[in-house]
Structure 1
């Protein structure tokens, strides 16, 4: 393999690792799922 190919492979591996690290380190912000609020039963003692 030529020197240029080795250097390009190293840079590609470095870029891939950086992308994976940044994606893994970013906070996971998930929207809260809007759940329909259940109406209390007319005949329930607990509610």
Structure 2
């Protein structure tokens, strides 16, 4: 392989690893967990 091909392959690998690293290091946007609903009392007539 020519030197230019080797250099391009190395740069492609570095760019690929940088993308994976940045995606892994970015904060995750998670939905807030739903608030647990209060269970109705067994003996409550109102509920």
Q: If the length of structure 2 is used for normalisation, what is the TM-score?
A: 0.69
Q: If the length of structure 1 is used for normalisation, what is the TM-score?
A: 0.69
Q: CA RMSD in A?
A: 2.2
Q: Which structure 2 residues correspond to residues 1-47 of structure 1 after superposition, within 5 A?
A: 1-34=1-34, 37-43=37-43
Distance in 1 (alpha carbons) for counterparts of 2:25 and 2:38: 37
Structure 1 consecutive aligned stretches of length 4 or more whose deviation exceeds 6 Å? none
Aligned length in residues: 44
